[in-house]
Amino acid sequence: MDDAAHPHAIPRSTRPPLRELWRFAGPHRARVIGAGAASVANKAFDVMPELLIGAAVDVVAQGEDSFIGTTFGIADRFTQLSVLVAITIVIWVFESVFEYVAIVQWRNLAQTLEHEARMDCYRHVQTLEMAYFEDRTSGGLMTVLNEDVNQLERFLDFGPHRLIITIANVVFVGGVFLVVSPSLFLLAFSPIPAIVVASLWYQTRLEPRYARVRAAGGTIGDTLTNAIGGMVTIKAFGGEEREAARVGADSEAYRDANRAAIRFSTAFNPIIRMAIMAGFVMTLLVAGRAALRGDLALGVFTTLVYMTQRL
* Amino acid identity at 119: M
What confidence tens digit (pLDDT) does each residue in 185-198 have? 888 887 788 777 88
Three-state secondary structure call for residue 228: helix
Cα atoms in the Cβ-side hemisphere of radius 13 Å centred on 273? 5
Asked which of 28-37, 121-130, 137-146 is least confident by mean pLDDT, the reply is: 137-146
Average pLDDT over residues 127-145: 70
How high is the pLDDT of residue 94?
Answer: 97
d(CA 84, CA 80): 6
How high is the pLDDT of residue 11?
Answer: 53
Helices (H), 149-297: 149-180, 182-188, 191-229, 231-236, 240-266, 268-293
Average pLDDT over residues 107-134: 84
pTM above 0.85, yes or no: no
CB atoms under 10 Å from CB of 55, counted, come to 23
